[in-house]
Amino acid sequence: MANRLAHETSPYLLQHADNPVDWWPWSAEAFEEARRRDVPVLLSVGYSSCHWCHVMAHESFEDDATAALVNEHFVAVKVDREERPDVDAVYMEAVQAATGQGGWPMTVFLTPDAAPFYFGTYFPPEPRHGMPSFADVLEGVRDAWADRRDEVGEVAGRIVKDLAGRSLAYGGDGVPGQEELAQALLGLVREYDATRGGFGGAPKFPPSMALEFLLRHHARTGSEGALQMAADTCEAMARGGIYDQLGGGFARYAVDREWVVPHFEKMLYDNALLCRVYAHLWRATGSDLARRVALETADFMVRELRTPEGGFASALDADSDDGTGKHVEGAYYAWTPEQLTAVLGEEDAALAAAHYGVTEDGTFEHGSSVLQLPRSVETAVADADRIASIAARLLAAREERERPGRDDKVVAAWNGLAIAALAETGALLGRPDLVERATEAADLLVRVHMDETARLTRTSKDGRAGTNAGVLEDYADVAEGFLALAAVTGEGAWLEFAGFLLDIVLDRFTGEGGALYDTAHDAEALIRRPQDPTDNAAPSGWTAAAGALLSYAAHTGSEAHRTAAEGALGVVKALGPRAPRFIGWGLAVAEALLDGPREIAVVGAPADEAFQELRRTALLATAPGAVLATGAPGSEEFPLLKDRPLVGGGAAAYVCRHFVCDAPVTDPAELAGKL
C-alpha cells in the first residue's frame, strides 16, 4: 500500500507510517476517496507523547487482522492534534457533547462530508471494563453504514447543526472590573487545596495561568492571600514528584492530590509557562526556591528540548525502556532503594532516600519511588555538599538509561511561550545565555514559520515548515514572545514583528462584538469554525490575543489594538467570576488592563551605568503587564521613546499610566516606588 505518512513533518504521524492500516493524512483527497468508495471515514486523533495513543496503536493499528477490517470498510485518517488543533477542537467538542467526556486517542467516525456520527476515545482489543472491543466497534459502524444509512445521515446532520449553533456571543459587554476580579479570586479561594496547594482534586494540573493572575492581583491590590496561594502552590509543586528533582522541568500533571506521582510526559508549554511563573514569583518575593526552579526549568528546556535549528521541541514521552525491552511509563525517572545503593553506596543511598522520599514500599509502581523533597525532611546544611554530589551522580546514572522519546516538531505558539519565559528569566536572573536562546528561537520562527506577508505556519521539523496554517494561539503567543524579547533586548524589530502578527489577528480572526475565532476567516472550512475562549493546558488563543493586543497598544498608543483587547476581555467579565480556573490568563490580562498597563521608557546610552540601573529597576517591576522600552532618546524603534529627552544630560525613566505621565526620574529607588 502507499505509505502516505512517510513524508509528513509530524513525529506522531511518522510513528504510524509503517502500520498495516492504510492511513491518510487529513486532506481533501482522503474524503474524496471515501466518496469514491462509498465508505465512512475513521478519524483517529492523538499526539506523540500520549500514552494511551501508543497503547491503542500497538494493540489495534499494528494488528494485521484489525488493519484489514479498517482498510476494507473505511478510509482511515490520522491527525496530530498538536499540528491541527482546529480539527481536534471541532471533533472533540462533538465527542464531549455526545459522551460527556473526551480525551486522546480520539476515535470518530465521519461521513465522506466530514460529519461525525459515532464517537469514542480509546477502545481495547477485546471487551473490557464495559467498553466494546475496537473490532466490535468497527463491525457495528460498518453494519450501520450498510444497513441503516438514513439513520446515520440523520444523526450526522443533527450533530453538525448543533455544533454550528454554538458560536459564542461573548465580547463587547464591557471589560471586567475590580468586582469581577474580586469574585474570581473568591472562586479560586473556594477551590483552593490549603493542605496540598493547587486547585481541585486528582488528577491535579499545574495551574500556571491562575498563578499568574494571583501574582498580578497581589501586585495591584496588595492581597496577601493571593500571594500566599501562589507561593504555597509553587512550593508544593517544586517539592513534589511532578517536578524533576534531578534534571529540572515539570511533568504534565500529577495523578494524585499531593503532587507525588506524575504523568511523566514533559510538555514545552507547561515548562515555558511555569518557568515564567517562578521567575515572576522570585521577582515578587525574592524566594530562593522560586529562583532555583525558574533557572532549572529554563535549563531543562534548553538542554532537553532545544533543536539543532534553535527552536524548541514539543514534548518528551512518558514511556521508555525499563531495561528489559519493555516500554514502561516513568521508567526513566523512578528509583528503588536498591538502585540508589548501586549508584551511591549504602551510606549515601540512605541519605538520598531520606532526602528524596524514596521508601521500601515505593511511592510509584513495583516498589519504585518518584523523587520528591518532602516538607517533613529537611537535610542539614552540613549535608548540602553531599546532596549536591548525590544529585550529580544520580543524574549521571540516569543518563545511562534509555531516554524517553522526543517529539521534535516545533510548534509556533509554544515556542512563543518559551521565548517569553527564557527572555524574562534570563533578564531577571542574570543569565544572558537564556536571552540568546530566546532570540535564536525567535529568529527561527521569523525565518521558517513566517512568510513574506507575516502569515504563520503552525509547525516545522528539521528546519522545514509544515503545511498547516497557524491558528489564533500561534499569532498571539508568538507576538507575546516577541514583545517580551523587545522589552529585554531593546531591539525594536521584535515590536515590529509583533505588530505584523497582531494586525493579522485584527484582520482575519476577529468577529463581531470583540469575539475571536481560533482559525482565520480564509482557513480551511471545517464543519464549524472553532472558537474557544477558555484556557486549558495553555492560554487560549482568545485570551492570549487579548494580552498581546493590550501590550502592543501600550507600546504604540494604537486605539484599534486596545479596543480589540477590551472587546476580547468581555468574555472574561462573563466567565471569570464563574470559572476562574479556566480563564486564568484572561484574568491576568484584565489585571494589566486595570493597572493601565503602565508604560515605562528608559532613555540613555546602553554603556551608561545609570541607564542600566534604571533598566534593571524597570525589569523588576511587578506592575501587572507593564511594558518597557529602552534606548537612546527619540529612537524610532520604540514609540515610547519619542519626545523622551535625557535629564541633565543623563539617563532617565518615564512612567505613564491611564494616559497620564509622571515627571521623569533619574533615581532607581524613586522609579521602583512608582512601579
Question: 11-164: which CATH topology?
Answer: Glutaredoxin (3.40.30)
Of 206-220, 241-255, 409-423, 653-667, the one with minimum mean pLDDT is: 653-667
Provide the pLDDT confidence category of residue 629 given band limits of 50, 70 and 90: very high
Task: Decide if pLDDT at 591 tops 90.
Answer: yes
In this prediction, residues 594-603 reach a mean pLDDT of 96
pLDDT in the model for residue 380: 57
279 and 230 Cβ atoms separated by less than 8 Å: no
pLDDT digits (tens, 9 = 90+) for 13-36: 998 999 999 999 999 999 999 999
Tell me the C-alpha distance between 374 and 379, whole Å. 10
pLDDT in the model for residue 2: 56
pLDDT in the model for residue 157: 83
Closest CA to 361 of 353, 351, 373: 353
Q: For 103, how many CA atoms within 13 A lie in the half-sphere containing its CB?
A: 9
Q: Which residue has the higher pLDDT, 260 or 151?
A: 260
210 and 230 Cβ atoms separated by less than 8 Å: no
Quote the percentage of the chain above a pLDDT of 90.
Answer: 78
pLDDT in the model for residue 164: 67
Of 140-144, 589-593, 650-654, the one with minimum mean pLDDT is: 140-144
Strongest mean pLDDT among 149-163, 373-387, 551-565: 551-565
pLDDT in the model for residue 247: 96
pLDDT digits (tens, 9 = 90+) for 523-565: 999 988 999 999 989 999 999 999 999 999 999 999 999 999 9
Contacts of residue 638, defined as CB under 8 A and 6 or more positions apart, other chains included, come to 486, 492, 495, 555, 601, 629, 630, 631
Q: Which residue has the higher pLDDT, 341 or 174?
A: 341
Of 186-190, 265-269, 372-376, 590-594, the one with minimum mean pLDDT is: 372-376
Task: Decide if pLDDT at 438 tops 60.
Answer: yes
CA 38 to each of CA 110, 326, 450, 539: distance values in angstroms, whole numbers, following the listed order:
12, 41, 39, 40
Task: Decide if pLDDT at 379 tops 80.
Answer: no
Provide the pLDDT confidence category of residue 171 given band limits of 50, 70 and 90: low
Task: Decide if pLDDT at 172 tops 60.
Answer: no
Of 42-56, 154-168, 491-505, 597-611, the one with minimum mean pLDDT is: 154-168
Closest CA to 603 of 564, 646, 560: 646
pLDDT digits (tens, 9 = 90+) for 635-648: 889 999 999 999 99
pLDDT in the model for residue 129: 77
**Alpha-carbon dihedral angle through residues 484, 482, 207, 220, given to the nearest 10 degrees:** 40
pLDDT digits (tens, 9 = 90+) for 270-292: 999 999 999 999 999 999 999 99
Task: Decide if pLDDT at 169 tops 60.
Answer: no
pLDDT in the model for residue 377: 60
105 φ/ψ sector (left φ>0, alpha ψ -120 to 50, else beta):
beta
In the predicted model, what is the mean pLDDT of the chain? 92
Closest CA to 417 of 208, 663, 645: 208
In this prediction, residues 452-477 reach a mean pLDDT of 96
Task: Decide if pLDDT at 414 tops 80.
Answer: yes
Tell me the C-alpha distance between 265 and 405, whole Å. 10
Task: Decide if pLDDT at 496 tops 90.
Answer: yes
pLDDT digits (tens, 9 = 90+) for 72-84: 999 999 999 999 9
Q: Which residue has the higher pLDDT, 425 or 135?
A: 425
pLDDT in the model for residue 655: 96
Task: Decide if pLDDT at 166 tops 80.
Answer: no
Q: Which residues pair with 120 in a beta bridge?
A: 107
Task: Decide if pLDDT at 618 tops 90.
Answer: yes
pLDDT in the model for residue 170: 61
In this prediction, residues 359-368 reach a mean pLDDT of 92
Closest CA to 152 of 164, 162, 163, 140: 140
Task: Decide if pLDDT at 167 tops 70.
Answer: no
Task: Decide if pLDDT at 303 tops 80.
Answer: yes
Closest CA to 586 of 175, 158, 48, 134: 175
In this prediction, residues 595-619 reach a mean pLDDT of 96
pLDDT in the model for residue 159: 77
pLDDT in the model for residue 230: 98
In this prediction, residues 588-617 reach a mean pLDDT of 96
Quote the percentage of the chain above a pLDDT of 70.
Answer: 97
pLDDT in the model for residue 328: 85
Closest CA to 168 of 541, 571, 590: 571
What secondary structure letter does DSSP report for 624? Answer: T
3 φ/ψ sector (left φ>0, alpha ψ -120 to 50, else beta):
beta
Q: Give the domain ranges of the chain.
A: 11-164, 180-317+407-595, 333-400, 599-674
In this structure, which amino acid lies at residue 239?
R
Task: Decide if pLDDT at 151 tops 90.
Answer: no
- CATH code 1.20.1440.230 for 180-317+407-595: no
Task: Decide if pLDDT at 371 tops 90.
Answer: yes
In this prediction, residues 594-610 reach a mean pLDDT of 95
Tell me the C-alpha distance between 42 and 138, whole Å. 9
Provide the pLDDT confidence category of residue 161 given band limits of 50, 70 and 90: confident
